[in-house]
Structure 1
Amino acid sequence: MTTRSNAPLPPWSEDIVDEFGLDEGNIYPGAAPAPSATSSMAKSAVIIGVAFLASRLLGLLREIVLANRFGTSSEYDAYVSAFRIPDLLFLVIMSGSFGAAFIPVFGGFLARGEEDDADRLASAVITWTALTTIVLGLITFVFAGPLMRYVVAPDLPPDAMDLAIKTMRMLLLSPLLLGMGIAAKGILETHLQFTLPALAPVVYNLAIVLAALFLAPEYGIEGVTIGVLIGALLHVGIQIPGVIRTGMRFRPTLSRNVAGLSEVGILLLPRVIGQAAFQINFVAVNHFASQTGEGGVSALNYAWQMLMLPNGVLALSISTVVFPTMAAQFELGDVDAFRNTLQRGLRPLLLLLIPAAIGLFEFRTALFQTIFQSGNFTADSTILASEPLAFLALGLVWYGLVEVLARTFYAMKDTVTPVAAGIFIIVVNIVLSKALLGSMGHVGLALALSVSTGIEAFILIVILRRRIGGFGTEFGVWLSKIVMATAVMALVSALLAPKLDRLTAGDDPNRIIQLGMLAIAVGACAAAYFLAAWLLGLPEARNGMNKVRTRVRHLARIG
C-alpha cells in the first residue's frame, strides 16, 4: 500500500481546513495534524471562480463569433441540435459516473488511507464507462438520421436536417474525450486539487473560439465541429499531469470484483436515470423549439448561454469547492459542520445571483445589442434571443440553488432524492412547454424551464431541511436584507434600462461606446445594491467597506 494519505494535503485543502475547522486527521485519518492554515475556502472559490469566469467569457466569445457568422439561422439551429444526443451520452454516462457516484466512494477510500483500492476503483469505473460510451456512440452513429428527424428536431428544413445529422455523427467522439476529462476532474477534486479541472473548460472553449475564427469562414459548421473535438482532446490532456502527480495508477480492467464498484453502481443508477431525464428534457425543449420556425432553437441557446455566465461562475465554482468538504464531513458524521459548510456556500451564491437575475432581466436587450448584434446577428435576432432571456433570468436563482443543493445530497450519498425530484420536474416542464408553446412560442419554453426549476429548488429545500435542520432566524434576516437591497437596485435598473436600450440600438453602433454605457449602467446598479446592503448592515457589505477603507489608508500612507 502506498502512503499518499500521510503526505501533506494539497494547497487547496488548506483553505477548506482553515474555514471549516477540519484538519488532515479528520479528512484523511492517520495523517499528521495540519499546521495552521493561513487562507480560507473563500480564496479557493475566488480562484476557481476566476477560472470559471475565464471559461464562461471564452464561451461567451465563442457564442459572439458564432453569432456574427451564423446569427439565428437554420444552419446554427442544426449545429445546436446536433449537440443534444452527444451531450446526453456524455452527461448521463461519464459525467454522472464521476460526479455523484464516484467521488464519494473514491474519497471514502482515501479518507481511510486505502489508496490501492481507490486506484483499482478508478481504473474499473473509467474502463466500464469508456466502453459503454463507445458502444452507445456507435449505435447512435448508425441511427443518427431517425433520431434527428423524429426526436431531436423534426421541423428543421431539409438542408439543415442533413447538416445536423452529419454534425451529430462527428460530435460523437466528444463524449469519450470529455468523459476522460471528467474522470481526471473527479480524481483531482477528490484530492482537493481544483486548478487544472477549472482550467480544462478554458482550453476547451479556446479551441472552439479559434476554430470559429479561422475554420468556420472556410468550412462553416464543420470547421467549428473540428474545433469542438480538438477542445475535447485538450480538456483531458491538460489534466493528465495533475492526475499523475497524485500517484494514481491506472490499470484498465473489466472485472466486477473491485472493492467499491457495486457501491458506485448503486449510487450511479438513480443518477443515470436523473441525468437521462434531465437531458431528455433538453431534447424535448429542442424538439418543441424546432416547431417555432427558423431561429427558435438558436435564440433559446443564446439566451441560455447568457444565463449560464453568472450561474457558471458562481454556482459551479461554489459547489465544486464545498462538495468534497461536505462529503468528508458527512463521512465523519458531523452534521453541524456539514450544515455550516452548506450555509457558507449559499451565502455568496444568493448575495450575487439575486441581483444578477434582476440585472439580466432589465438589461437583456442592451446586452444582446452590445455583445451579439453584428454581422448575421441582426436586430431581429436580438429580439428573438432577448425575449426568452427575460423569463430565464427570473429563474437564475433557482438554477444556482438546484446546482448546489443537488450536490449537497450527493455529498450525503443520496442520489435518489435529487433524481426523483428531477424526474418529477421534467414531467412538469414538458407539460408546461407543450401548453405554452402555441400561445408564446419559444418564449413559453423559457418560462416553463424557470417555473419548473423553481418548483424543483423548493422541493429540495424542504427535504434537506428535514434532514439536517434549518439555518435559523439569523439566515432569514440576512436573506431579507439581500432582497431589500436588490429591490433598491431594481428601481435603479428599471429607470436606466429603457434609456440604455435606446442608446445601444442601431445598425452600425460604436462598440466601445456601447460597452462603456453598459458598464456605467451596471456599475450604477452595483453601487446602489452595495450602498443599500451597507446601510442595511449586511456583514459582507460592511466587511467590503472596511477593506476599501484599509486599502485607501494604505495608499494614502504610501503617497
Structure 2
Amino acid sequence: MSAGPPVGPPAGLLGKIAATLRGILGSRLARNSLTVFTLTGLGRAVALGKEVLVAALFGVSGLLDAYVLALLLPSFLANILGGSFSAVLVPALGKAAAGTQGAERARQLLGRALTAQVLLTGAAMLALAALPITALQALAPGATPERLALIKTMQLALLPLCAFSSLAHVLGASLNYQGDFKSPPLLAMLGALATILAIALLHLPLGVQALVAGANIGAGLECALLAWLARRSWGPVFRGLRWGSLRAETPALLRNWAVLALGASLLGLSPFIDNAIATTLGEGSVSALSYAWKLPSGLAGLLGLTLSTVLLPYFTGIVHGADAQELPALCRRMVKRLALLSAPLAVAGIAASPYLVSLLFQRGRFDAQAAELVSVIQACYFAQLPFYLLAIAAARMLQALSRLRFLLFLQAGLLAVNALTSLALSRVLGPAGIAVSSTIMYALCAAISLYAVLRQGRAAGPA
C-alpha cells in the first residue's frame, strides 16, 4: 500500500508566505492590531455612511459650512483633552501597577485621573462658552454677523460633544490597558449608528440643528456604554477617593499631559500653515490639497489609530517589565515589519493615484486638468505612509519611556521645518511641494525618534 502525500506546509513561494503570515499573526500584538484595524475600519465605513446621508440632506450649503465651523473648536479640545490625556494615562497605569498592591494603586490612579479629566474638560467648556462672537471671525473671516451668531449658537450646543468625546478617549484607553481592544471600536460604531438615526429622524423638524443633536446623542451613548464597561472591568474607581489626593498623586500625570497636549497642539497647526501657503499659489490650490489628502489620510489614519491603540499598552509593559533590555531589538523588528507592511501600500497608492482620482472625483466641473494636478499631489501624500507609521510607533515608544519633553521639542522643531520646506518647495513644485514637505517632516520625525529610542535602550541594557 503506497504512502499518501506528505502532510505539512505547502512547498514553494506560497508556502513561505503562508508560514510567514502564521508566524506574524501568532503573536498577541498582531492579533490585537488586526482586531483594532478591522473594527475601526468598519466604524469608518459607518461614519462614511453618515457623510453620505448629510450630503443627501444638506448638500453643499452655507448652513452646513456653519456646522463644520462650529464643530472645529469642540473637536480640537476633545482631542487635546481626551486623546493626549489617554496617551499619558496608559504608561502611568503601567507604572502604578508595577509596584506593591499594583492593581489597587492603578484603580485609584484611574479614579484620580478621571476626576482631573472632568475638571479640565469643564474649565475648557466654560472658556469656550465665554469666547465672544467676534473671535469667531478668525474661523470665518467673510461671514455675516447673522452667520457668526448661528456658528456661536451651534458651538454652544456642541459643548456636550466635547465632554463626551474627551471622556470616551480616556475610558477607551483604560479598557485597552486591560486588554479589551474590541469594545471601544464597537461602541464607537454604535454611536455612529445612533448619530445617523437621530439625523434621519430629526432633520425635518430641526433642520441643520439635527446634526448637532445627532452628534451629541451618538457621543453621549458611546461615552455612557464605555463608562459602564470600565466600571465592570476596573470596579468602583472613585471608592475611597479624596479630593486632597489630587494634589499628592496626579501632578506628574498632569505635567506629562500638559507637555503632550502642547505638542499635539503644535502639530495641529501644520494643516493651517499648509493651507495658508497654498492660498498664495493661486485659486484651486487649497481644494486640490484637500482632495488629494482624503484617501492617503484615511488609510494612514486607520493604520495609525491601530498602532496607537495597541502599541502604547504593549510598549508600556515592555518598559516596566523584565524585558526592558530587549527594547533595541524590538525596535528593529518593528521597523522591519512596518516597512514590509506599509511600503507596498505606498507604492500601490502612488501607481494607482491617477485611476483613483479619476474614479472618485473626475466628473462635472472637476476636469482632466484638475485630476492630473490632484493625482500628482495624492501620490506625494501616499509616499509619506511608511514614515508616518514609523513616526507613530516611535512616538508611542518615547511616551512609554516618559520622554515627553524630548517629543515636545522634536514636534516644535519639525513644525518649523515643515513651514520652511513647504514654503520653499511650493515655489518650485507648486502644491505638490507642500505634500513633499510633509513626507520630509515625517521621515525626520521617524529617524530622530527611533534613534532616541535605540540610544536609551542601549543605555538601559546590561553592561
The alignment's TM-score, normalised by the length of structure 2, stands at 0.78
CA distance change for structure 1 residues 334 and 393 in 2, over 3 Å: closer, same or farther? same
Residue-by-residue CA offset, 1:218-253 (whole Å, 9 max, x unaligned): 766543333222222133123223212223323276
Q: Aligned ranges for residues 87-486 of structure 1 at < 5 Å? A: 87-99=75-87, 101-112=88-99, 113-143=101-131, 145-150=133-138, 152-154=139-141, 164-210=151-197, 221-251=208-238, 254-257=243-246, 260-285=249-274, 300-301=289-290, 303-332=292-321, 334-371=323-360, 379=366, 383=371, 388-433=377-422, 445-468=434-457
1:45 to 15, 33, 40: 33
Aligned residues: 431
CA distance in 1, matches of 2:153, 2:375: 30
Root-mean-square deviation over aligned CA pairs:
3.8
CA–CA distance in structure 1, aligned partners of residues 194 and 281 of structure 2: 32
Paired position in structure 2 for 1:24: none
2:45, 2:270 → 1: CA distance?
26
Q: Is the 8 A contact 2:328 2:454 kept in 1?
A: no
Change (3 A) 1:253 1:66: farther
Alpha-carbon separation, structure 1, partners of 2:326 and 2:118 = 36
C-alpha distance in 1, partners of 2:426/2:69? Answer: 18
SS in 2 for 1:421: helix
Conserved 8 A contact 2:194-2:214: yes
Question: Which residue identity does 1:464 align to in structure 2?
Answer: V
Distance 1:211 1:296, change over 3 A: farther
Amino acid at match of 1:52: T
Shift of 1:405: 1.0
Q: 1:72 to 1:430 in 2, by over 3 A?
A: farther
Q: CA deviation at 1:393?
A: 1.8
Contact map agreement 2:195 2:215 (CA 8 A) in 1: yes
Q: After the TM superposition, which of the residue ranges 267-276 and 287-296 deviates more from structure 2?
A: 287-296
Equivalent residue letter for 2:302: V
Question: CA–CA distance in 2 between the matches of 1:292 and 1:162?
Answer: 32
The one-letter amino acid of 1:98's match is S
Distance between the aligned counterparts of 2:33 and 2:234, measured in 1?
25
CA distance in 1, matches of 2:151, 2:280: 16
| Counterpart secondary structure, 2:244 | coil
CA distance in 2 between partners of 1:220 and 1:309 (Å): 29
What's the counterpart of residue 19 of structure 2? Answer: none
Check conservation: 1:73, 1:294, Cα contact below 8 A.
no
> 1:256 and 1:283, CA in 2 relative to 1: closer, same or farther beyond 3 A?
farther
Task: Tell me the distance in 1 between the aligned counterparts of 2:438 and 2:204.
Answer: 34
Structure 2: unaligned runs, 5 residues or longer: 1-22
Letter in 1 for 2:351: E
Q: Give the aligned residue type for 2:97.
A: L
Pair 1:72–1:300, CA change in 2 (3 A): farther
CA distance in 2, matches of 1:297, 1:333: 50
Instruction: Read off the aligned partner of 1:87 and give its amino acid letter.
Output: S
- Paired residues of 1:72 and 1:298 also in contact (CA < 8 A): no
Q: TM-score, normalised by structure 1?
A: 0.66
Change (3 A) 1:428 1:334: same
